Structure 1
Amino acid sequence: MEAVEIEAWCKRKQLAYGHAVVLSDVDPDVTDAVLLSALSQVKVFGKSEIVDRCLDVASKTQLVLIKTSTDLRNQTAPDVVGLPGEAGPWPAHVLTAPAENDEFQSKLMSFLNAEGKTLTDVGGLLQPSPLDVNTALIHAISSLVDKCNTTSVDSQSYRKLRMFSGVKPTPNGEEEYDAWAEQTTHLLDEWQCSDNIKKQRIVESLKGPAADIVRFLRVQQPTATSYDYMQVLETAFGTTESASDLLVKFRHTYQNVGEKLSTYLLRLDKLLHCIFRKGGVALSDMNRLRMEQVVRGALQQDMIALRLRMTHKLREPPSFSELLKEVREEEDMLQSRNDSKNPVMSQSVTPVSKSAPEQEVDPEVAKLKKELSVMKAEMLSLKAATIASHPDTQISQPEVPTKPPYKRNATPQRSGYQEDKPGIFCYRCGEDGHFKRECEGEENLLKVNKRLIKLTKKSGNYRGVQ
């Protein structure tokens, strides 16, 4: 490494030339402890410190930049540094600042002598004029202006607290005590103003019995602080349960059936903050207690709670906002997954409804088929009513064909068969004396429809066998 490069290295590390030493040919395996041990044996260096290392590409070794506690410009430094028989030796390069200042001073003195002046005369010219403003005074004024601007911005951005009176039931436009106290306690820590302004803002949000209690406190204790105001309001309107009772209640708060885990988490956190205001739990333990109760009190079949039970011991307890965000994201993911199943089910039914229009038929034939199906349904209902009202006929009906002996031996004719059983005709061709399964003729739905209509009008209110 050239001297120019070493000087640039010192400038990058903001190291003075008089306190810089560069060791070359250092093996990369040599540790800082070995180097410091070798440097400590050179008393000229004083207390040494390793600033940086870089690789010498040519020799495949390292260059080490050392910072010494002594100024080496007027000292005699050794050429090599090392531990005899153990490590080294490594060449030591000491850099000294160029003597430009000495040359400038000699030139300046020769010039002043030629002009008949001294350094005192030059010092008078370099003194600031009386019109120059003190820099410290400028900084003080600037800091004061910044403080004033900060106070004014805080006053302008202030929004009044919500009203609280302590009346039961809570009137419209007012807050319950727990919600009001939670908000006020948080803002008391955030407001960057005096305690008198904090007390004024608390009084502005009170009316009725709550304002009377604070007014009584101011009379009895004129030096009361804003936190004293909150303490007396907590005594008057807060829960009468102690911190230990609230902690037991917190331990026995469980998730209801049908309740989301995020809603259960909000209920737990509200109760946990009540315990915190009572001094029953430290701020550093709130995340741990919240997670333990969520794992213990959530429903066994809740999928999100099941995952929390499996992973809560593998990491630090998250904060309330982190846990609520994680739970809500998983709830939305499960909800979207359930919603995506409904369109799939509806799409599977859609082709069935679309297949009907593909079969193009004659409108007249479709109308007749529809009327035929209605007639069949009416016939079945009439038959069922007959069997229900006359159970004996169900037994005698199979014996009807065997009663007239002369018909069994007679020549089978469809006309005679029609006279015995007027309701029997073919549902395919409309002719009498045979069934549809025995028909060999052409289909005539118009005739079948007319026969069914005529049969329905003729039977009227059919009451079975009389």
Structure 2
Amino acid sequence: DDPRVKYHIQALNDVYTRTIGGSFTETYLKNLKGLAKLSGKDFEEVLKEVMSTIGKSIESTLTTETDLENRTLDQSNVMAEPNILAEPSQSGVSPLHQTRVFSSPKPMKTTLQSPPKPHIIPPTFTATDINPPEIQKIVVEHVVKNVEKISSTHAALRIRAFSGKTPRPYSEADYETWRSHVNLMIDDSSLSQLDKTRKILESLLSPASDVIRPLGPEATPTDYLELLDSAFGAVEDGEELLVRFMNTLQDHGEKPSTYLHRLQVALNLAVRRGGLEPQEVNKQLLKQFNRGCWDDTLLTELQLELKNKDPPTYAELLLFLRTAENRQEVKSSRMKRHFNNTKPKVVSHEQTVIDANISVAAESSCLRELKKQVADLKSQLTAVMKQKKSATQKKTKGP
């Protein structure tokens, strides 16, 4: 009744396609992607198989609806007979008489006078109604975009080369680094087994490639890694690696964060070989860092000795150390800058200027005077020596 209220009427099919249909389509495509990853097939092949299955399902659905329609018509004809036989029973006629009355003209006239029941035709759906062109267009565009994205991602993914040579070339990764990259690739569910095998083979150089050549391309990535672990992995057992970890100390001039990184690498290797339980990693890492770090000021500032009961993770401890190191570097640079900005004291430098144009006659007169003085000193020294000598002789000749 309010004239200010306006009602917008829309078709239910359009609203459903925009809102609910889009979310259902995305969910359905995600499920198809997961199925393709598990089966190892391409997403396009799986989509074609599903579309053909949908077409067959539509045909079978239409056939089933036609059969149900025919059965409904037959059942309606059968249910009409008791209605015809029900009227003579009101006059007290026996069932035998009822069958006879059915063949007489009067009941037929009564049946013709009753209005026929309306026949309800069930709705039929065509293939266009079930799978409209708008949804088909969305599905095709989504498939094309995802295929291009996946292909570009796979092309960009590349593992660093590893050969196993000693000494290790500068452009290659060591075995532990290469192994961690391969583990990440194996955990990627978007890659098939064939793609993972191809990436491993492309990253290996001789002599590492010669080690796995007898397995052939039919082997799984796990088979390749087991053989490479035997050839290039650590041969020490877990206990020896744990002892090596506990003997790792901070080197001279090494930052605490760098020392912590070395401890983490050694500890991970010991855990991988079974030398330590994974739940004890944080506790042992903090304990060894407090034991092997020589910077007592840093340990006191961060109060790491008090965190043994609830040790931080490697990431948290590394963040603490890098923050403290950065604070110390900033303070040191600020101190140097402050001392360099102070004014230096004035220092006087005395300089003597000598005239180079001195005459030769003046130099010769100075030399003559010096020689004369030296001669006088010699004569005086000789006279003194004679007096001392005569005095000593008189003492020796005394009475």
Q: Structure 1 residues 251-260 or 172-181, which shifts more?
A: 172-181
How far apart, in 1, do the equivalents of 2:367 and 2:319 lie?
74
Q: Partners in 2 of 1:139 and 1:192 — Cα distance?
A: 25
1:225 corresponds in structure 2 to 220
Structure 1 147/328 Cα, relative in aligned 2: closer, same or farther at 3 Å?
Answer: farther
Residue aligning to 1:418: none
In the alignment, structure 1 residue 334 sits paired with structure 2 residue 328: yes
For residues 268-314 of structure 1, what are the alpha-carbon distances to aligned partners after superposition, in whole Å with 9 as ceiling and x for unaligned? 12222322433444544433332222122211535147624244236
What percent of counterpart residues are identical? 25
> 2:350, 2:299 → 1: CA distance?
54
1:270 corresponds to 2:265: yes
Q: Equivalents in 2 of 1:273, 1:189: separation in Å?
A: 19
1:204 and 2:202 correspond = yes
Q: 2:188 aligns with which of 180, 187, 190?
A: 190
Are 2:249 and 2:292, in contact at CA under 8 Å, matched by a contact in 1? yes
The TM-score with structure 2 as length reference comes to 0.51
Number of residue pairs the alignment of both structures matches: 249
Please give the alpha-carbon distance, in whole angstroms, between the structure 2 residues aligned to 1:139 and 1:198: 34
The amino acid that maps onto 2:177 is: A
2:239, 2:275 within 8 Å by CA — same for their partners in 1?
A: yes
Q: CA deviation at 1:190?
A: 3.4
More helix by share: 2
1:247/1:280 contact within 8 Å kept: yes
The answer to whether the aligner puts 1:251 opposite 2:246 as a matched pair is yes
Corresponding position of 2:151: 155
- Displacement after TM superposition at 1:164 (Å): 1.3
In 2, distance between residues paired with 1:128 and 1:167? 72
Distance in structure 1 (CA, Å) of the matches to 2:185 and 2:294: 35
Name the stretch that deviates more: 136-145 or 305-314.
136-145
State how far apart, in whole Å, the 2-side matches of 1:234 and 1:164 are.
13
**More contact order relative to length (CA 8 Å, sep ≥ 6):** 2
The residue that corresponds to 1:438 in the other structure is none
Question: AA paired with 1:273?
Answer: N
2:296 is paired with a residue whose SS is coil
Residue 166 (structure 2) aligned to one of 165, 168, 174:
168
Q: Output the CA distance in 2 between the equivalents of 1:202 and 1:142.
A: 36
Shift of 1:180: 1.6
- Map of 1:260 onto structure 2: 255
- How far, CA to CA, are the matches of 1:278 and 1:195 in structure 2? 26
Cα-Cα RMSD: 4.4
CA contact (8 A) 2:298 2:324 kept: no
Q: Given residue 215 of structure 2, which amino acid in structure 1 is its aligned partner? A: L
Shift of 1:261: 0.3
Using the alignment, how far apart are the partners of 2:318 and 2:325 within structure 1?
Answer: 10
Structure 2 vs 1, CA of residues 141 and 290 (structure 1 numbering), >3 Å: closer, same or farther?
Answer: farther
Contact (CA 8 Å) 1:298, 1:305: kept in 2 or not?
Answer: no
Change (3 A) 1:246 1:207: same
Alpha carbons of structure 1 residues 151 and 334: separation in structure 2 relative to 1, 3 Å: same
Greater per-residue strand proportion? 1
What is the CA-CA distance between 1:166 and the residue it aligns to?
Answer: 1.5
Q: Secondary structure at the match of 1:270?
A: helix
> 1:286 aligned to 2:281?
yes
- Deviation of the 1:324 alpha carbon: 2.0
